[in-house]
């Protein structure tokens, strides 16, 4: 089915119709692919703008059930297709792939699994068991369908970006992964579809995530990584958010560091009410 909702944005819901469109209209075009779960915001648009270096931009909108480890989080994930299409329309004419779960994972579908090693052990891997297996499954399947030349991922989900890079390397997939800088709201809060569920007050309180990372970056000379973790834990004790983790890791190994280096990145996650928020920042 091909639903032409707007002049420039074409929405496909089946694999066959998407592939037919791509092969018929632009057979030799380079394809820039932006996978999303919808509820699009400014950050997604920066990825779309980056993808415009390719001849054709494909954006997928699919809330992937296999990467949610909490049923209520999946159920409450915002779904805003109409506004998503409107925002895309304002940026460029792109091809949208918005499949159903059955289309993505038909009967007999075998999920791709990989040994993700140390990258997936800590932080989001520990906080959300099975999450990264779901990410590998959906990203592999999307790559198989879209066959992009380049795919664009945000550094806001840095661990995810590292896992996608690992997958491409391990499976020798023929595409380039492009990491895009974290897009922030005024004050520093990393833009996220989950922010839609925060009240104005909660958004204010959630600034503590970025502020903690910025503090760590600025004051690393005064603390060891371990002391900095303790300092940030203390700061959260007087906040309304529940700190899930604050880790300083080497981005090549994803091992926690005992001293600061060019390779150190801070990762933080906390619950604001029932909403899981995360952020990360290079310490160099
Ligand atoms: P999502 O729809 O949340 O799965 O995100 C789709 C893509 O947008 C992923 O590659 C995310 O890393 C990226 N993304 C989401 N929020 C941000 C942000 N604030 N800055 C940069 N990239 C982001």
> For residue 152, how many other CB atoms are within 10 A of its CB?
27
Residue 5 has pLDDT above 70, yes or no: no
Given the residues 21, 41, 44, 276, the one annotated as active site = 44
Rounded-to-integer distance, Cα 171 and Cα 150, Å:
16
pLDDT for the residue numbered 206: 98
- Sign of torsion, CA 40 102 158 72? positive
Confidence of residue 9 (pLDDT cuts 50, 70, 90): confident
Report the pLDDT averaged over residues 62-77.
93
Which neighbouring-strand residues pair with 11?
A: 3, 96
Q: Where does residue 278 fall: left (phi above 0), alpha (psi -120 to 50 degrees), or beta otherwise? A: beta
CA of 43 to the centre of ligand 1 (A): 6
pLDDT for the residue numbered 260: 98
State the DSSP H helix or E strand holding residue 210, giving kind and residue range, or none if neither.
helix 207-218
Whole-number percent of the chain with pLDDT over 90: 94
Assess contact for 247 and 256: CB atoms under 8 A. Answer: yes
Rounded-to-integer distance, Cα 253 and Cα 250, Å:
6
Pairing between β-strand 150-154 and β-strand 176-180 as defined by DSSP bridges: parallel
CA of 114 to the centre of ligand 1 (A): 22
For the whole model, what pTM was predicted? 0.95
Q: Which of 47, 186, 191 to mutate to test the pocket of ligand 1 (most atoms within 8 A of CB)?
A: 47
Whole-number percent of the chain with pLDDT over 70: 98
Q: Which of 45, 135, 150, 156 to mutate to test the pocket of ligand 1 (most atoms within 8 A of CB)?
A: 156
State the DSSP H helix or E strand holding residue 125, giving kind and residue range, or none if neither.
helix 124-127
The predicted-structure confidence for 19-46, as pLDDT tens digits, reads as follows: 999 999 888 999 999 999 999 999 999 9
Give the tokens for residue 155: 């550094």
The predicted-structure confidence for 78-115, as pLDDT tens digits, reads as follows: 999 999 999 999 999 999 999 999 999 999 999 999 99
Report the pLDDT averaged over residues 59-74.
94
Q: What is the DSSP letter of 195?
A: G
Q: Which of 96, 157, 167, 276 to mutate to test the pocket of ligand 1 (most atoms within 8 A of CB)?
A: 157
Q: What is the mean pLDDT of the chain?
A: 95
Rounded-to-integer distance, Cα 283 and Cα 63, Å:
32
Residue 215 has pLDDT above 70, yes or no: yes
Which residue matches tokens 């001849």?
Answer: 55
**Atom 16 of ligand 1, nearest CA residue:** 192
**Is 131 annotated as catalytic?**
no
**Atom 5 of ligand 1, nearest CA residue:** 36
Question: What residues are in contact with ligand 1 under a 6 Å CB criterion?
Answer: 36-37, 43-44, 47, 153-154, 156-157, 180, 182-183, 190-193
Residue 157 has pLDDT above 80, yes or no: yes
Confidence of residue 171 (pLDDT cuts 50, 70, 90): very high
Residue 221 has pLDDT above 70, yes or no: yes
Q: What are phi and psi of 102, to 5 degrees?
A: -65, -35
Residue 180 has pLDDT above 90, yes or no: yes
Give the burial string for 56-95 (b: 16+ CB within 10 Å, else e). Answer: bbbbbbbbbebbbeeeeeeeebbebeeebbebbbebeebb
Give the tokens for residue 3: 């639903």
Confidence of residue 1 (pLDDT cuts 50, 70, 90): very low
- Sign of torsion, CA 111 170 57 29? negative
Confidence of residue 266 (pLDDT cuts 50, 70, 90): very high
Q: What is the DSSP letter of 121?
A: T
Q: How far is CA 108 from the centre of its chain?
A: 27
**Atom 6 of ligand 1, nearest CA residue:** 36
Return the ligand 1 atom nearest residue 40 CA. Answer: 2
């Amino acid at each position: 089915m091909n639903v032409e909702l707007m002049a420039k944005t074409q929405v496909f819901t089946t694999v066959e119709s998407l592939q037919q469109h791509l092969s018929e209209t632009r057979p030799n075009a380079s394809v820039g692919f932006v996978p999303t779960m919808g509820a699009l915001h400014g950050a997604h648009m920066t990825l779309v703008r980056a993808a415009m270096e390719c001849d054709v931009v494909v954006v997928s909108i699919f809330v992937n059930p296999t990467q949610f480890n909490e049923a209520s989080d999946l159920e409450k994930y915002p779904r805003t297709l109409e506004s998503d299409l409107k925002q895309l329309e304002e940026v460029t004419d792109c091809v949208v792939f918005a499949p159903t779960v059955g289309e993505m994972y038909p009967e007999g579908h075998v999920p791709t699994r990989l040994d993700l090693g140390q990258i997936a052990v800590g932080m989001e891997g520990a906080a959300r068991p099975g999450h990264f297996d779901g990410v590998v499954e959906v990203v592999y399947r999307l790559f198989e369908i879209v066959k992009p030349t380049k795919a664009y991922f945000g550094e806001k989900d840095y661990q995810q970006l590292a896992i996608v890079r690992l997958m491409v390397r391990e499976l020798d997939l023929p595409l380039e992964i492009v990491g895009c800088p974290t897009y922030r709201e005024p004050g520093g809060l990393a833009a996220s579809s989950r922010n839609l569920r925060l009240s104005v007050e909660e958004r204010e309180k959630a600034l503590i995530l970025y502020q903690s990372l910025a503090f760590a970056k600025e004051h690393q000379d005064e603390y060891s990584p371990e002391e900095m973790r303790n300092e940030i834990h203390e700061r959260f004790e007087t906040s309304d958010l529940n700190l899930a983790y604050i880790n300083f890791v080497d981005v090549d190994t994803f091992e926690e560091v005992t001293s600061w280096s060019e390779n150190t990145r801070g990762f933080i996650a906390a619950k604001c009410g029932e909403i899981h928020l995360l952020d990360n920042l290079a310490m160099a």
